[in-house]
Structure 1
Amino acid sequence: MTAVAAGALFTWLGMVLAISFLEAPLKFRAPGVTVPIGLGIGRIVFRGLNAAEAVLAAVVVVAVAAGDVPGRVVVAIGVAVGVLVLQLAAIRPVLNRRSDRVLAGETPPRSRAHHAYVAAEVVKVAALVTSGVLALSAV
């Protein structure tokens, strides 16, 4: 089951890297993409990413629960899952409220929530790399 966890962890890692660190910043550089259009696209893309992350996190948790996984792997996985829960429960709602206002034509004040989300993504990427490498070494 550790191999299943490792596969899910690296799939999850690849998705986060591709969307959060490649697609998200690049879409605003495309010709004709305004902030409201970029936010609208981003909300859809991140909703899909977060749903996929939740499924992959569930696969990892089940694989860990069903197998004999070393404690250090469990801790690293716990960090990744914990960060995802933090993002979904605390940070995304704040970002959604602000983007609702922008999409409604308002100009709300800058929010630190975006920076918090990016910082959480960095921590999550580190936890996914660590847990994936540790899981592979335990196979």
Structure 2
Amino acid sequence: MSSAFAVATAFTFVWLGMVLAISFIEAPLKFRAPGVTIPLGLGIGRLVFRALNAVELLLAAGIVVCLVVAEARTSVWIAAAVAIVMLLAQVGLVRPGLTRRTNAVLAGEDAPRSKAHLVYVALELAKVAALVVTGVLLLS
């Protein structure tokens, strides 16, 4: 395995681990902690997901650079592209709506639950699957 493939593999699994830890463990559990109100949880979530998405974008860029250097197979490119497109859809299409709802709740408004959250979760699941496939293809 070339060093570019090794770095791409590491970036892929670090990205996967971050998404699993934050999206599927931290995010749902924070609302169960004693004293965490909906506005407080949303405020924390906004900070955490902004940081997560920024790191994800850096890892995605790193993966692309490594795949170019390593001259990766088409199948690896496709799997990585799916993960990256899911991330871009989350950041560019879904998160603005979620941000508007969070802003409304933090301003004291009684904002209805957003269906955009379900879209974000669906994209997150697709991204996780794509990252698993990318990592497996990089290892094979």
Task: Give the TM-score of the pair, scaled to structure 1.
Answer: 0.97
For residues 73-100 of structure 1, the C-alpha deviation after alignment (integer angstroms, 9 at most, x for no partner) is 1000000000000000000000000000
Q: Sequence identity, in percent?
A: 59
Residue 108 of structure 1 deviates from its aligned partner by: 1.3
How far is 1:67 from its partner? 1.2
Residue 54 of structure 1 corresponds to 57
Structure 1 residue 110: Cα displacement: 2.1
| Runs of 4+, deviation exceeding 4 Å | none
Q: Which has the higher contact order (CA 8 A, sep 6+)?
A: 1
**Root-mean-square deviation (CA), in Å?**
0.6
**Correspondence list, 1:1-139, <5 A:** 1-137=4-140
The normalised TM-score by structure 2 is: 0.96
Q: C-alpha distance in 2, partners of 1:20/1:63?
A: 26
Structure 1, unpaired ranges of 5+ = none
Deviation, structure 1 residue 55: 0.6
In the alignment, residue 57 of structure 1 is paired with which amino acid? A
Q: Measure the CA separation in 1 of the matches of 2:62 and 2:71.
A: 15
**CA distance in structure 2 between the partners assigned to 1:134 and 1:38 by the alignment:** 37
